[in-house]
Each structure stands twice: as structure tokens, then as C-alpha cells.
Chain A
Amino acid sequence: MSNDSVGKRVVQWFDHRLPLVTFVNHSLVEYPAPRNLSYWWTFGSLAGIVLVLQIVTGIVLAMHYTPHVDMAFVSVERIMRDVNYGWLIRYMHANGGSAFFAVVYIHIYRGLYYGSYKDPREVLWWMGLIILILMMMNAFTGYVLPWGQMSFWAATVITNLFSAIPLVGDSIVTWLWGGYAVGNPALNRFYSLHYLLPFLLVAVVFLHLWALHTFGSNNPLGIDAKGPQDQIPFHPYYTVKDLFGLGVLMIVLLAFVFFAPNFLGHPDNYIPANPLVTPAHIVPEWYFLPFYAILRSVPDKLLGVVLMFGSLAVPFLLPWLDTSKVRSATFRPIYKQVFWFLVVDGIVLGWCGSQPPEGIALILARISTAYYFLHFLVLMPLIGMIEKPRPLPTSIAEPVLKGGDAAATAPTRGRS
């Protein structure tokens, strides 16, 4: 052995005792991935990177923030004005939240289109949904911290939802607040939770990846890899592809941060919280608007709350509600169209959530709420039974390699 192997032997010694190098090599370098993953598969790793970005900027913000009703608002303005590059860190954190939801929503819709929730990836899908719920709790607690008017009134409206629970509702709300109104105890616990939840998020992301790596990624054709000819190592193929995706995401995110940092926010949150003045319209951030529309679509408070939480619960059952054995919508002529109705439904719900609940917005909200549940509870079981799927290719490699020389055949359309 020559002297260049000294470093190598140290690494081997360490890896024998704690196989960290083997682990990384196994899950990020050699990790076999289907060779036909499209750019829609990039959003998973993008979500992971945005989470890291949020944690890093968030920890720096926490070093300068003061969680007290009399000082929180001013301490945020001190960050904006007196902390070196504080404005950049805060604008990245605020817009990073929006980027996180945008990326994750695309990631989820990709899973819906290509049937990534089906056997054997049901638990992977569940972990993803739990991540979404944790993200929502995190976004909400974080939005309260600057203690502007929208912070205060969002906290008031959302915590008050629990008062709809029969008998114990009011006691639960008092317990959540730590008092008889949203005040300093509420702000303090929201701050504590906002610091805790991201680390729970990291833990569930780890479980999500563990489940993913147990069976490997789904792919645009939705068929299993049958051997080495169907797969390529994650590095360098998908590392470089994801890096390019990251570049594009950063361009979009930083364009907001530098040139329209308050575009996605609400002006009222630059007014200090005032319990005596209610804003004309209390609206949440854009990523909550569809759920806000569902909440307000029925005149009964309890039913609204049940529907809103139900809209998050129903997707957990999707692996069994979807009765089709075919994963990819590419080979499912009816579902392929119904999928796009669900996309439109989500956008319509979002618009309704941004409007006062009256007139056409309320009617639309009711129709699209009903359609949302219809999609999962009725259409998904039904379509699987009556639909005649198109023939599946025999392997991943076959259409990919054939697509290279022969004229494009059916499977290449799978990426549309």
C-alpha cells in the first residue's frame, strides 16, 4: 500500500465503527433511481433544500427577535433596519415560506398524477401528508410572531376554530391561549412551537426519505424497475439535474426577495397588533386560501371546521380510495382529465378564499368544496372500476431507449 492510502484507511477505520460514509454513498451516490424521472421529480429535493434554508434564516432571526407583545413588532423592525443584512434574512425567511408551500404543492400534485401513493408507497405518502400538516402549523405560528394586525387577528380567528368543538371548545381555546384572549402567553408559546416544529419536520422528512429509499422512486411510467438497465445512480445524474432545478428555484425566490419582497404579504401586518381594531378583511397567506374557502363555505362553524380538517384527512385514505391498479395517469384516459379538474378546483378555492364569503365567491366556494370531496370519495373509487387503462410498456428501459432512435411513441407522451 502506498502513502496515499493513509487517509483512506482512517476513513475505513471510522466507517467500520460508524458506517456514515457507506450510508451517504448508499443513499445519495450509488442510490439507484429510475432512468426516466422528469423535472417534476426535482421538487422533492427542492423542498428539502428550502427547509434547510428556512431553518438557517430562522435561527438567525431568533437571535434578534423578542417574543413579547410590547416589543415583538419593534424587534422585527430592528432586524429590518439595524441588523446587518437583517432585511435580507427576514425577507428570505418570509418569502421562503411561500416557496416551501409552492414547491410542496407541486410535489403533491405530481404524486397525485403519477399515482405515487399506491402500493408499496402508502406510508411514504402518509409521511408526506404529515409533513404538509406540520408545515401548516409552522407557517401559522410563524406568521403570528411579527405581531402585526394580521398576525394578531389570524391567531384569534384560527385558535377560535377550536371553540366549535361541542362542550369543551371554550375551555380548549382558553387553554391554547394561556389566558382569556390572545396575548403574551399565546405569543410566547407560538414562538416556542415555531422553533420546535421545524425539527419535528426534519424528523418526519427523514422517515419520508427512509420510506422512499425502501422501494425507490416512482417514475413517469409508474411501472417498477426490472433490473439495472432501468436504473441509473443518483450521482451524478440526478444530483446535477436537481442542482439545475435549484438554480431555477433560486432565481424565482430571490426575484421576489430583492424586487417584490412584500408582494405576497398583507399591508396590514405592518400595522402593530391592536386588539381593539379589527381589519376590514382578515385573509391568510396565499397557501392557506383554499382551506380558508372550505372553512367558510358552510354557514355552520363546526361543520366548516370539520370540512377543513377533513380536506386534509381524506388524502390519507387515497391509496385505498383509488381502485385502479395502474399508477401513472399517462395510461389512465379518464383519470388524466379528472386530475386537471382537481388542479382547477384548488385554484378556484384559492380565489374564493381571497374574497369576502358572499355572492358569487360563496357559491363557487360551495361548489368547489363539494367537488373536492367528490373527487376523492366518489370519482377515485368509481373511475378505477370503469376505466380501461392503456397497455403498459414492459420495462422502463424499453421505451426510453427506443425513444432515442425511433419516432416518439406513446410512453414519451407521459411527460406532458
Chain B
Amino acid sequence: MARVGHGILGLVAVAAVGFGLATTAQAAADAAQPPAQKWSFDGIFGSFDRAATQRGLQVFLEVCGNCHGLDLVAYRNLAEIGYDEDQVKAIAAQFSVEDGPDEEGEMFTREARPSDAFVSPYRNAKEAAMINGGALPPDLSLMYKARMGGADYMYALLIGYEEDTGDHGVPEGLFYNPYFPGGATAMPPPLYGDDVEYADGTEATIEQESKDVTVFLAWAAEPNLDARKRLGTKVLLFLIVLTALLYATKRKVWRDLH
């Protein structure tokens, strides 16, 4: 028994060292620590709150999507958050994309289809930078995984804008946000509350909108999270039983030796 303890302890120790190092490596120096929030997709059994994800899509389409792309997500993926085929088609049809060349060699514009990726608000990065005073609004497809603090960070950033009273030295044309690395962001405060009228009647406070769009973007970055955690619990349960049986077998095989 003691020897089993050693083996397991070794693994745990290695994992612990890995954990410790990874977290210290990621401590951001010059930004406020975003407060931890409760998310439905946290933990072993967590999953995306369907209604919040759909409300988040609405906020994205009506607000964020005017300046930010979502290149890695296609309209067809919206079926995974509860829209049927006709609804997906209708959402896609609000946007137009350039296609071609057709049989006469001409490029043409058509309605977006479910198989198209979310249509970018700009033709290219140059246009995006030009429209936004030189600052390129980043694509939001992976934002949840590409920032320290993930969902907590995005939420804190969206509700965290403050007036620069002068002592933060924010340059003209930029905005003060203590959660943004360096404190000065080119993104104007995107949400104020009542920016959208929610289809399900939820009150559109700035906190509600920020939370919902964060859930939507977390889904956009990690669309397989629900499937991953469901499969994971089954696999681990199986492995724990199997490993217990292997231990019993080992004991039985070794019994005649001692």
C-alpha cells in the first residue's frame, strides 16, 4: 500500500509543480486583477447556459460585430446553441459576402449562407485600421482563450471603463480601463445598458449584456466544451474503475511472492 502511495504522490507532485509554475508564469504585471465570477461552464459538470449564449449572440450581432470579426465561427455552428435550420439561414441572410468569379469571370455579392463564416465588418485589415484610427479591432473568435483570466477578464473589461481623471495619463483618443494591460485602450466603451432589446424580455443592463456576450464568446472559442466535459466524466469514471481492478489484480498476482 505504501508503495502505491509513492507512485501516486509522485504524479501529484509533478502536477502540482506544473500548476504552480504555470500560474506564476501568467501573472500579468500592469493590469488590475479581474474579479472571479461564477460561470455556468465552470467546473467538471459545467455547460453553456443556452439562453445566455443566445442573448450573447444578439449582443454580438448588434454591437460587437459592427467592429470585430468572428472569422473562425460559421453561421451553421449556431445550430449548436439551439437555432434551427431556418433561423440559421435567416441570421446569415442579414449579411452579404463577395463571391465568384462567376461564369463570366465577374465577382458578385450575394446573401451569406449557413456555410459562410461570420462576415467581417471590414474588407481587410488595412480598412479596419483606417476606420479605427490605426488600431485594429482584434478578431474575437478565440478571445476567451487568448487572454489571461478568460471570461472573468472579458466581463471585467466590458463593465470596467472609468473616467480618466487625468492621473492615469491616458492619451487623447484612448479610453481608460484598469483591466486593460497598460490602462489605455482604443476601444470606446461598447456597452452602456439597453443597447439591445432582448428577444426573451430579459432586462438589458450593462452587467447582463456583458455577461451574456462573454458566454457567447466563450462558446465561440471553445464550442466543444460541453461535449468535452460530458465525455470526460464518463472516461474518468471508467478509468478509475479499471485502475482499481488493475490494482486488485496486481495484489492477487503478487500475493504468492511475499
Q: With A237-B253, A251-B240, A270-B142 as given contacts, are A350 and B10 in contact (CB-CB < 8 Å)?
A: no
Stretch at the interface among A23-31, A159-167, A197-205, A253-261: A253-261
Give the chain A neighbours of B243 by CB distance below 8 A: 244, 247-248, 250-251
Stretch at the interface among B11-19, B54-62, B98-106, B191-199: B11-19
When C-beta atoms are compared, the residue in chain B nearest to A43 turns out to be B10
Stretch at the interface among A13-21, A98-106, A125-133: A98-106
Q: B228–A88 contact, CB under 8 A?
A: yes
Give the chain A neighbours of B148 by CB distance below 8 A: 267
Query: Which size class do B's interface residues fall under?
Result: 35 or more
Against B, the Cβ 8 Å flags (1 = close, 0 = not) of A331-354 are 000000000000000010011011
Q: Is the interface of A mostly helix, strand, loop or mixed?
A: helix
When C-beta atoms are compared, the residue in chain A nearest to B9 turns out to be A39
Against A, the Cβ 8 Å flags (1 = close, 0 = not) of B1-25 are 0111011101110110111111011
Q: B239–A87 contact, CB under 8 A?
A: no
When C-beta atoms are compared, the residue in chain A nearest to B45 turns out to be A259
Q: B6–A351 contact, CB under 8 A?
A: no
Q: B250–A240 contact, CB under 8 A?
A: yes
When C-beta atoms are compared, the residue in chain B nearest to A39 turns out to be B7
Interface residues of A in 266-288 (CB under 8 A from B): 266-268, 270-271, 280-281, 283, 286
When C-beta atoms are compared, the residue in chain A nearest to B246 turns out to be A244
Most buried by A among B6, B17, B18, B29: B18
Most buried by A among B8, B21, B28, B181: B21
Interface residues of A in 224-254 (CB under 8 A from B): 232, 236-237, 240-241, 243-245, 247-252, 254
CA distance A237 to B258 in the complex (A): 12
- The answer, among B224, B228, B247, B258, for a CB contact under 8 Å with A244, is B247
Q: With A74-B72, A105-B14, A264-B22 as given contacts, are A243 and B228 in contact (CB-CB < 8 Å)?
A: no
Q: A254–B3 contact, CB under 8 A?
A: no
Q: B11–A77 contact, CB under 8 A?
A: no
- The answer, among A347, A400, A415, for a CB contact under 8 Å with B2, is A415
Q: A271–B228 contact, CB under 8 A?
A: no
Against A, the Cβ 8 Å flags (1 = close, 0 = not) of B122-140 are 0000000000000000100
Give the chain B neighbours of A350 by CB distance below 8 A: 17, 21
CA distance A237 to B8 in the complex (A): 19
A297 within 8 A of B: no
Give the chain B neighbours of A40 by CB distance below 8 A: 6-7, 10
Q: A270–B6 contact, CB under 8 A?
A: no
Q: A80–B229 contact, CB under 8 A?
A: no
Q: Could you tell me the distance in whole angstroms from the C-beta of B183 to the nearest C-beta in chain A?
A: 14
Most buried by A among B19, B28, B247: B247
- The answer, among B147, B181, B236, for a CB contact under 8 Å with A255, is B236
Q: A243–B235 contact, CB under 8 A?
A: no
CA distance A283 to B29 in the complex (A): 14
Q: Could you tell me the distance in whole angstroms from the C-beta of A123 to the nearest C-beta in chain B?
A: 26
Q: Could you tell me the distance in whole angstroms from the C-beta of B45 to the nearest C-beta in chain A?
A: 10
A116 within 8 A of B: no
Q: With A247-B239, A258-B236 as given contacts, are A38 and B3 in contact (CB-CB < 8 Å)?
A: yes
Q: B24–A351 contact, CB under 8 A?
A: yes
Q: Could you tell me the distance in whole angstroms from the C-beta of A45 to the nearest C-beta in chain B?
A: 13
Q: With A105-B14, A255-B236, A258-B228 as given contacts, are A245 and B7 in contact (CB-CB < 8 Å)?
A: yes
Q: A267–B236 contact, CB under 8 A?
A: no
Q: Could you tell me the distance in whole angstroms from the C-beta of B179 to the nearest C-beta in chain A?
A: 15
A42 within 8 A of B: yes
Q: A267–B235 contact, CB under 8 A?
A: no
When C-beta atoms are compared, the residue in chain B nearest to A261 turns out to be B228
A35 within 8 A of B: yes
Q: Could you tell me the distance in whole angstroms from the C-beta of B116 to the nearest C-beta in chain A?
A: 14
Q: B21–A243 contact, CB under 8 A?
A: no
Give the chain A neighbours of B11 by CB distance below 8 A: 102, 248-249, 252
Q: Could you tell me the distance in whole angstroms from the C-beta of A80 to the nearest C-beta in chain B?
A: 7
Interface residues of A in 62-76 (CB under 8 A from B): 74
Q: Could you tell me the distance in whole angstroms from the C-beta of B239 to the nearest C-beta in chain A?
A: 5
Q: Could you tell me the distance in whole angstroms from the C-beta of A347 to the nearest C-beta in chain B?
A: 6
Given contacts A261-B228, A286-B17, 19 further A-B contacts (CB under 8 A): A39-B6, A40-B10, A80-B224, A81-B223, A88-B228, A237-B257, A240-B253, A241-B254, A243-B246, A247-B242, A247-B246, A250-B243, A254-B235, A258-B233, A258-B236, A264-B22, A267-B147, A354-B24, A415-B3
Give the interface of A toward B (CB within 8 A). 35, 38-40, 42-43, 74, 77, 80-81, 87-88, 91, 98, 102, 105-106, 232, 236-237, 240-241, 243-245, 247-252, 254-259, 261-264, 266-268, 270-271, 280-281, 283, 286, 289, 347, 350-351, 353-355, 400, 404, 415
Which 9 A-B residue pairings sit nearest by Cβ, starting from the closest?
A258-B232, A247-B243, A39-B7, A270-B146, A354-B25, A102-B14, A244-B246, A270-B145, A270-B142
